[in-house]
């Protein structure tokens, strides 16, 4: 079974994002140093995004 979304944590720690589990989304984040973490059990994700964008 393949997940539709995965959780990644920023390389500087702290921020966790739920992102689409597709190469177009994952590869740029992993190259920047983001890494996969288990899904948070006790809280909602900080951000749910398909592609990281500047804050609007």
Write down the pLDDT at residue 34: 95
Overall average pLDDT of the 21-29 stretch: 94
The answer, yes or no, to whether residue 47 has pLDDT greater than 90, is no
- Tell whether pTM > 0.85: no
User: What is the predicted pLDDT for the residue at 55?
Assistant: 44
Q: Say how far apart CA 37 and CA 34 lie, in whole Å.
A: 10
Domain boundaries, the chain: 5-49
> pLDDT tens, 14-23?
889 999 999 9
- For the chain, state the CA radius of gyration: 11
pLDDT above 50: residue 4:
yes
Task: Give the DSSP letter string of 24-55.
Answer: HHHHHHHHTT-EEEPPPSSS--SEEESS----
Residue 51 in this model has a pLDDT that exceeds 70:
no
């Amino acid at each position: 079974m393949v997940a539709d979304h995965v959780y990644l944590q920023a390389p500087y720690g702290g921020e966790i994002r739920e992102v689409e589990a597709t190469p177009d989304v994952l590869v740029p984040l992993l190259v920047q140093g983001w890494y996969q973490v288990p899904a948070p059990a006790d809280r909602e994700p900080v951000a749910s995004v398909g592609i990281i964008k500047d804050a609007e």
